[in-house]
Structure 1
Amino acid sequence: MLINTIYLRQFLATNTACLILVVCACWVAWPSSVNRKLNKAYDDVDHIGLRLDESQITWVVSLLDLGNAVSPFFSSFIINRIGRKNTLLLVSLFFLPTWLMVWDSSSLTYIYVARFLIGVSKGLAFTAVPVYISEIADHKIRGMLGSTTHTFMTLGLLFSLCVGPYISYQSLNIIFSVIPLLFLALFVLMPETPYYYIMKEDYEAAEKSLKWFKPYEKNVKESLAKLVESHKDMDTGASYWALFSQSNTRRPLMIVTGVSFFQRLSGITALVAYSSVTLPQLSFTSWFGPNECVIAFTLSMTITNFLFAPFMDTLGRKILLCTSVFCGIIIMTLTSAYYYVYPVPTNSYKDLIPYVLVVAYGITYLGMGNVPPLLPSEYFTTSQRSYASAVTSVALATGSFITSKFYLIVQKDCGSYFAFVIFALVHVVYLLFASTFVRETKGKTFEEIQAKFYKKENVAGELNNTQL
């Protein structure tokens, strides 16, 4: 991914901040790596001593999403209170004891509690990282830098899926505990965002931060004055109540919540967590199977995102999202048709069909993966962003919880084909929603987005002080 050298510091800070998302992704993919190691239907080759049934495994998977759904309700307070940077540093410290709880597999309760607590940490990270990136990024590259969150998530998934199935349960958990320490050592060197300092009326610190992130600014004091003026004019009265009660914020809140909820309800969580037990075993090869397909799926997402992320700032958010969802409709429909015709493995090359479709879904996931996390930071003001991002995290977690908790139940009672019929229908609703409501924001400053977004609602010709 090529980037102009004048934006190098923004690029460096963005990539460092996103390291915490690698930890989150490792936890998301952790069940896929250890399902067979913990499942009582398989031998305890790692001598873990704990064997789980199907119901317990679904709780191990879904408790992370439950914790994720809880944390955003207080994460916005933490982000605005101690800052975006300090919140992420706090998250890195919070990750460490949870790994130790999972490493000690003597009790299922430890694993349950650890999964819930890591979900809380994930919610904090997913609320703070997009806000941090949007507040340090120049409007010309904000889309590309925003897509970095998805790239690092896929890198974390890829690392977990490549390493997890092939090493012992204990070794996997020890390796993963190192990543939060690496993040802590690097991110402590990065500055806080200028927007946070402006919100706290520490204008001297805001100027230093602005100079660090944007050394190409010819007149930093003038740029800072514009940001301060914009904040005073538009950025008052932020709260959860204001988001839901103000007519100017209800619509953008509905949009960011909808695109996030449908993203996770469309099946991505189930593909990552359960592909190892959904895909047919290939009878004609011993070196490629469900685990390797999940790796190929994640690798396809990573490569596609790395190569085509700049299109976020050229083609735009809306067209990429709608194209991605449309491709998802086709792929989920074909996958459902396959499992309807072949409910059991055919022990032939036909069993490769769902493998190809899963990888194809990873290639076309660019829009669905990148756009939802980016919109809250573009649609809302400085102090509102943390609240909107928190609500978005709840929507993401709720969609993930529903799919991770009920996918195996639907698959067992109704068949795999029916689960993918549901996913295809969700994609149809997703496309209708995105094409109707999502507003384009490529290449625009926050002020320009505001003027466009609320143009129709602004009868008096002046923006309400709670608008973006």
Structure 2
Amino acid sequence: MVFINVGLSKCYWNQYFAAISVNLLSLSYGCVYSWTSASYVYLLEDSRQFETGVLTKEQLGWVTAAAFPGSFVGALFFGWLADKIGRKRCLLLAALPMLTHWLIIPFARNPFQLAVARFFAGTAGGCCFTVIPVYITELAQDRLRSTLGMIFALNLGAGILLINILGYFMHYITVAWILIVIPLAFLVCFSFNPESPQYLAQHNKEKAERSLRYYRGISSSGDANEEFQQELSRLCKSEEEKPGKPQLCWHDFTTRKARKAYLIGLGLVLANQFNGSLAMQNYMTFIFAEAGSNLPPMLSAIIVSAIQLTGTCSSTHFVERAGRKTLLLISISGIFLGESAMASYYFLTSKGYDTSMFNWLPIASFSLIQFSANSGILSVIFPVIAELTPPKIRSTVVRVQMITMFLLASVITKIFPYLTVTLGMPGTLFICAGFSFAFIVFIAIFVPETKGKTIEAIQDSL
């Protein structure tokens, strides 16, 4: 589900293969993320599958939410494990709970069993968000780093679209059997890739050089060019500067660069959650209905998923051309405009003004919000956070940032409906638009451009 230019040179091919194969896991998690929405017709209406009868909306809510604590546990456990046994073995292990999820679903006979399946898949999702960005950052060349990092978000979006399409045509049990193929394909394809050079440099310099040669497409020492020799020298030098200090210490997190990188990353995580685009997805059916749309809810979900994937594809295409900061600014500005327009429409409608000639505006604004969000703020932040964080503490800091994101997602998903009841849809959307404007200012002032820079140059700019 990714787009690659034909004729990739050998030095790029191995990096693309690694990024694509590892993100088969994120493709599977994208399917998990929207599984309940794609299957809700059967879960709420088909009484033959469960001993307890059809699921109530409350039970469906608990089944859906079970993935969030799983993601929290997965981010903690797999983020820690990646530093102990390596990125590659950690990611291969994460495929097991993902396989367990798809295997439990066909045999589940009550909501608790479905919730257990979702919890297992959530742990694999926590691994995706914490370990994959680190792994990609550590193996990629500077000129490819963000493009390869964007495949993560691209496959998440592709998974969401895939599950909605399959759910529209097939029973959720049939879909589960089909989707077992994805984590199995991940295990087969990803096993061919070596560990990341940076992780190996901490333990075995000879293996680190072999890994770097593989990812740069250099088969023998005679083929090594000056750029490779400089990169290898920087990699080994960065590790040699830490003799006798393999363990992290508090000072590593309190340096000026570490503090600034963490605060910028935290700001991007807050922008990712508080702009409201993710929470608004729960109101997709309401927005389409209010606008007078007669589309079935599942078809609406497919349309929105396609819009989201298109936005992510555009960011993948332009991330190395326009730059990360530019994409983030365009993205959050588009969200601000869409939310402002939608809030104004609902506000004027609530005040009794005739807005019938503008009943297309909610759908258009919602589409703009989702396209803009997926073209930047929901996709670009993952490689940017990994790029900004000093290599020694990268795994730990990314883990903390992703755990923060999961906690915020859980809270915002719960309070968003209460805000719409208390403040109304116009008031809630105006608040989201206000946050979006604040994040425009934050990104413009504090987020550095990382396009085309080495990790060392990025660190020097902080």
TM-score bracket relative to the smaller structure: 0.7 to 0.9
Q: How does 1:247-262 map to 2 (within 5 A)?
A: 247-262=256-271
In structure 2, distance between residues paired with 1:65 and 1:18: 20
Separation of aligned partners in 2, 1:418 and 1:321 = 25
The residue type paired with residue 210 of structure 1 is L
* Aligned-partner Cα distance in 2 for 1:63–1:141: 36
CA contact (8 A) 2:345 2:355 kept: no
Distance 1:347 1:164 in 2: 35
SS of the residue aligned with 2:431?
Answer: helix
**Are 2:299 and 1:292 aligned?**
yes
Amino acid at match of 1:206: A
Alignment of 1:386-397 (within 5 A): 386-397=395-406
1:332 counterpart residue number: 339
Q: Give the letter aligned to residue 67 of structure 1.
A: G
- Which amino acid in structure 2 is aligned with residue 231 of structure 1? E
- Which one of 367, 370, 375 corresponds to residue 362 of structure 1? 370
SS in structure 2 opposite 1:280? helix
- Picking from 144, 149, 152, the partner of 2:147 is 144
Tell me which of 339, 353, 357 is aligned to 2:361: 353
Within 5 Å, which residues of 2 pair with 1:22-41?
22-39=27-44
SS state at 1:339 partner: helix
| Aligned equivalents of 1:247, 1:391: Cα separation in 2 | 18
| Deviation of the 1:260 alpha carbon | 1.6
Residue 184 (str. 1) matches residue 177 (str. 2): no
SS of the residue aligned with 1:361? helix
Distance verdict in 2 for CA 1:13–1:239, change over 3 Å: same
Gaps of 5+ in 2: 219-223
Q: Counterparts in 2 of 1:141-180, with a 5 A limit?
A: 141-180=144-183
State the distance in 1 between where 2:266 and 2:185 align.
32
Query: Cα deviation per residue 1:111-155 (whole Å; 9 max; x = unaligned)?
Result: 223323322221112111111111111101212111111111110
Match status 1:302 vs 2:309: yes
Shift in CA distance, 376/319, structure 1 to aligned 2, threshold 3 Å: same
Q: After superposition, where does 1:35-50 map in structure 2 within 5 Å?
A: 35-39=40-44, 43-44=45-46, 47-48=49-50, 50=53
Query: How far did residue 325 of structure 1 move?
Result: 0.4
Which residue of structure 2 aligns with residue 214 of structure 1?
216
Residue 19 of structure 1, CA deviation: 0.9
- The alpha-carbon distance between structure 1 residues 175 and 267, as it changes in their structure 2 partners (threshold 3 A), is farther
- Asked whether the equivalents of residues 140 and 148 of structure 2 are also in contact (C-alpha less than 8 Å), the reply is yes
CA contact (8 A) 1:68 1:120 kept: yes
Answer whether contact 1:239 1:387 (CA < 8 A) is retained.
Answer: no
The counterpart of 2:18, out of the listed 13, 21, 44, is: 13
**Which of the residues 315, 322, 326 maps onto 1:315?**
322
How far 1:214 sits from its partner (Å)?
0.5
Partner letter of residue 215 of structure 2? F
Contact 2:315 2:376 (C-alpha < 8 Å) held by counterparts: no
Separation in 1, partners of 2:298, 2:343: 20
Distance 2:246 2:306 in 1: 43
Quote the RMSD (CA, aligned, Å).
Answer: 2.9
Per-residue deviation at 1:403? 2.7
**What amino acid sits opposite 1:437 in the alignment?**
F
With 216-225 and 63-72 compared, the bigger mean Cα shift is at 216-225
Bigger CA drift: 438-447 or 423-432? 423-432
Q: How far did residue 292 of structure 1 move?
A: 2.4
Structure 1: distance between partners of 2:386 and 2:246: 17
Find the aligned partners of 2:323 and 2:330 in 1 and give their Cα distance: 11
Distance in 1 (alpha carbons) for counterparts of 2:199 and 2:248: 16
Is the CA contact 2:332–2:436 (under 8 Å) kept in the aligned structure 1?
yes
Q: Determine what percentage of the aligned residue pairs are the same residue.
A: 25
Give the deviation of 1:197 after TM superposition: 0.6
Is the CA contact (8 Å cut-off) linking 1:127 and 1:393 kept in structure 2? yes
- Kept after mapping to 2: 8 A contact 1:140/1:443: yes
The answer to which of 242-251 and 312-321 deviates more is 242-251
Aligned to 1:58: 61
The equivalent residue for 1:279 is 288
Contact residue 137 and residue 145 of structure 1 kept, 8 A: yes
Say if 1:209 and 1:284 are closer, same or farther in 2 by CA, change over 3 A: closer
| Rounded Cα–Cα distance in structure 2 between residues aligned with 1:108 and 1:241 | 44
- Does the CA-based 8 Å contact 1:238-1:384 persist in structure 2? no
> CA 1:175–1:409 in 2, change beyond 3 Å: closer, same or farther?
farther
Would the alpha carbon gap of residues 87 and 378 (structure 1) be closer, same or farther in structure 2, given more than 3 Å must change?
same
d(CA) in 1 for partners of 2:177, 2:65 = 22
The residue number in structure 2 matching 1:428 is 437
Alignment check: 8 A CA contact 2:327 2:376 kept: yes
Match of 2:78 in 1: 75
Aligned residues: 446
Q: What's the TM-score once normalised by structure 2's chain length?
A: 0.87
CA pair 431-245 structure 1, distance change in 2 beyond 3 A: same
Whether the 8 Å CA contact 1:165–1:291 is kept in 2: the answer is: yes
Which residue identity lines up with residue 22 of structure 2 in the other structure?
A
2:233 paired residue number = 225
Q: Which moved more, 1:175-184 or 1:427-436?
A: 427-436
Task: Measure, in 2, the Cα distance between the counterparts of 1:243 and 1:86.
Answer: 26
Equivalence for 2:446: 437
Please state how far the C-alpha of 1:238 moved relative to its aligned partner: 6.0
Structure 1 residue 318 displacement after superposition? 1.2
Which is further off, 436-445 or 46-55? Answer: 46-55
Q: d(CA) in 1 for partners of 2:293 and 2:414?
A: 32
Cα 1:281–1:185 shift into 2, 3 Å: farther
Asked whether the equivalents of residues 291 and 362 of structure 2 are also in contact (C-alpha less than 8 Å), the reply is no
Deviation at 1:302, TM superposition (A): 2.1
Find the partner of 1:378 among 376, 387, 400: 387
Letter matched to residue 25 of structure 2: I
2-structure distance, mates of 1:349, 1:38 = 38
Q: 5 Å matches for 1:84-103?
A: 84-103=87-106
SS of the residue aligned with 1:364? helix
Cα offset for 1:78? 0.6
Q: Aligned-pair distance for 1:103?
A: 3.3
